[in-house]
Amino acid sequence: MPDVQLRDVDAGYGETLALEHVALDVPRGSLVAVVGPNGAGKSTLLKLIAGLIKPWRGEVLVLGDAPGAHARQVAYVPQAEMVDWAFPVTVDQVVMMGRYPLLGPLRRPGSDDTAATDNALERVGMQHLRHRQIGALSGGQRRRVFLARAIATSAQVFLLDEPVTAIDPATQDDIMDLLGAEAAAGRTVIATTHDLACAAECFERVIAINRTIVADGPSSIALDAAVLARAYGGHLLRLDGGRVLVDDAHHHDAPPAHERHFHEGGRDS
């Protein structure tokens, strides 16, 4: 049975339909990139699988049941804009948060949790900065820390919203190596990305969406002009020699009114 299944799902926010007729099977151990233009519904797809929003129609199954039924087996990493980086927590505290749902309200973190946190920080190469406030790190380092939080949970399904957006190439390579290792170890990894080259090179499978799935196949389709034309429509420029240019600067989808977003230099909405 696939770890993640969607059957003819429609979903959206308020009155706005963001995704329709989405059908998808993601087997255990997959390394999947979700690509598509702004507003295509990439984040919505991840939120559906994470159980953060409910489908309007159709069915979502995660590890065989409705999303949320096995929530401790799911690690979700939001987009950087969803996090208040001025928050007074240190790197190790952020990673330890991944352990909180496993502990329950009355138990304090113990030696198992410290070991899991240490191990996760080691894997992402952030041990030396463990006592830094999270906002004192660079963008790439912050992504590493959030990946460490996912690793520390020992979850089966990793859902990452833009894990390699707007970070330096070295960190991008490291993060993709780590995600590849997690998938090789049997975890199911689904990540949204704006970076088509990265999707093509570093993932096994690419799902291109634009309100619905327009293509789903081996990662090479991320650079297929016909697929991109369907996913990106008018934002695509065709250049000589089969090269394509995608005019799609990163910006997250319009959020629901009650969500708080944080951008560098100040608070937004």
Partner 1 sequence: MIDLIVDPLAYDIFLRSLLAVVMVGVVCAVVGTYVVLKGLAFIGDAISHAAFPGVVAAYLMGGSYFIGAAIAAVSTALATRYITRRGNLRSDTTIGVLFAGMFALGIFLFSTIRGYVGDLFAILVGNVLAISPTDLVVLVILAAGTLVIVGILWKELLYATFDPLGAAASGLKVELLEYLFLALVALTIVVSLQAVGIILVVAMLVTPPAAAQLLTVRFGRLVTLAVAISVASSVIGLYLSFWLDVASGATIVLTQTAAFLVALFVGPRRGVLARRADTHHVPVPE
Q: Which positions lie near partner 1, rule CB under 8 A? A: 14, 47, 50-52, 68, 71-72, 74-78, 82-84, 87-90, 93-94, 97-98, 100-101, 103, 105-106, 108, 129, 132-133, 135-138, 140-141, 146, 149, 153, 155, 159, 168, 170-171, 256-258, 260, 267, 269
In the complex, least distance from residue 89 CB atom to partner 1, rounded to whole angstroms = 5
In the complex, least distance from residue 211 CB atom to partner 1, rounded to whole angstroms = 21
Cα-flanking dihedrals φ and ψ of residue 26, to 5°?
-120, 105
In the complex, least distance from residue 140 CB atom to partner 1, rounded to whole angstroms = 6
Query: What gap in Å lies between CA 38 and CA 231, rounded to an integer?
Result: 10
Closest Cα to residue 64, out of 122, 18, 121, 25? 25
Q: Pick the closer one to partner 1 by CB: 147 or 227.
A: 147
Query: What gap in Å lies between CA 101 and CA 210, rounded to an integer?
Result: 34
CB atoms closer than 10 angstroms to residue 266 = 7
Query: What gap in Å lies between CA 177 and CA 156, rounded to an integer?
Result: 17
Residue 106 CB partners (closer than 8 Å, separation 6+)? none
Q: Pick the closer one to partner 1 by CB: 47 or 194.
A: 47
Partnered with residue 160 across adjacent β-strands are 77, 191
Q: Pick the closer one to partner 1 by CB: 146 or 232.
A: 146
Rg (C-alpha) for the chain, rounded Å, is: 18
Partnered with residue 74 across adjacent β-strands are 157
In the complex, least distance from residue 66 CB atom to partner 1, rounded to whole angstroms = 13
In the complex, least distance from residue 201 CB atom to partner 1, rounded to whole angstroms = 21
Residue 175's SS3 state is: helix
Q: Pick the closer one to partner 1 by CB: 113 or 224.
A: 113
Give me 204's structure tokens.
């096994």
Q: Pick the closer one to partner 1 by CB: 28 or 132.
A: 132
In the complex, least distance from residue 18 CB atom to partner 1, rounded to whole angstroms = 15
Q: Pick the closer one to partner 1 by CB: 161 or 195.
A: 161
Q: Pick the closer one to partner 1 by CB: 89 or 236.
A: 89
Please name the residue that has the structure tokens 């233009």.
37
Query: What gap in Å lies between CA 165 and CA 80, rounded to an integer?
Result: 9
In the complex, least distance from residue 257 CB atom to partner 1, rounded to whole angstroms = 5
